[in-house]
Amino acid sequence: MARKRREWIPGDTLHITSRGNRKEELFYDDEDRYFYLALLAKAKKKYPFYLHSYCLMNNHIHLLLETTHTPPGKIIHTTHTSYARYFNNRYNLVGHVFQGRYVSKRIMDAAHFLYVSRYIHRNPLEANIVSDLSSYFWSSYPSYINGKEDPLVTKEKILQFYPLDSINNYRYYVEAQLDY
């Protein structure tokens, strides 16, 4: 049976996830993570898109990506094919690096958009990797709350929902209900 063709409309905003093959690690060290982000930046130059949030976990990735004129499949294919080639060469491996096709879920409204951003940014906390989200370097969250620029990330769309003291209000939204 043929795979179902993905529906896409220019301007779609999607929550994209992809996991390491057999749930294995995608990133063994910081060099791998830097390389993945560099590939994402390269894809962004070739196929412009807006990346509102991201998080690189050890064995999977999350992207909150808004397309412009290029289907997300081209963006992810370009990034993941290059990363798989790099990863297999670096570690003298063969075969698949990513498990199957990436998963994409269309963002339906503003509440869903904010929820997914929060979900992505809370991932390291929920996985018990960190107790302070601002300390997780491999996420777009520090750029939101520390005011640090990240050329990959477009923060304006999320922060516009908090017109007064946007950074602190977004921080409160993401970190609310934490057990300290």
| Domain span holding position 154 | 13-175
In this prediction the pTM is 0.93
Domain at 72, CATH number:
3.30.70.1290
Residue 165: inside a domain = yes
Q: What is the mean pLDDT of each run of 10 residues along the chain (180 residues)?
A: 74 97 95 98 97 98 97 96 98 95 95 97 95 93 90 96 94 78
Which tokens is 124 given?
A: 């390291």
C-beta of residue 61 within 8 angstroms of C-beta of residue 35: no
Number of compact structural domains in the chain? 1
Helix (H) or strand (E) holding 169: helix 166-175
Residue 114: inside a domain = yes
Residue 6: inside a domain = no
C-beta of residue 14 within 8 angstroms of C-beta of residue 106: yes
What is the rounded CA–CA span in Å between residue 30 and residue 46?
24
